[in-house]
Amino acid sequence: MINKTCYCWTCDKFFHHLGIARHRAMHRDRKENCTITYDDCETVTHQFSKRKERQK
């Protein structure tokens, strides 16, 4: 049985704790805000839409 203990409220989907970082990065790449509950029951809202582009 795969233990999917993280939850993305934005997508309404459960994720394995090893895959949630890539899922969060997908939201970051799309500049979408997302709210995720991690396996330690901490819920974090990531404000990726407010991030500025890095200048090279």
Q: Which residues pair with 14 in a beta bridge?
A: 7
Indicate whether 1 pLDDT > 60. Answer: no
Tens of pLDDT, residues 15-38: 999 999 999 999 999 999 999 999
Distance separating alpha carbons of residues 15 and 37, to the nearest angstrom: 10
DSSP per-residue letters across the chain: -----EEETTTTEEE-TTTHHHHHHHHHHTT--EEEE-TTS-EEEE-GGGPPPPP-
Q: Where are the domains of the chain?
A: 6-50
Distance between CA atoms of residues 38 and 51, nearest Å: 22
Q: What is the pTM of this model?
A: 0.81
Question: Percent of the chain beyond pLDDT 90?
Answer: 77
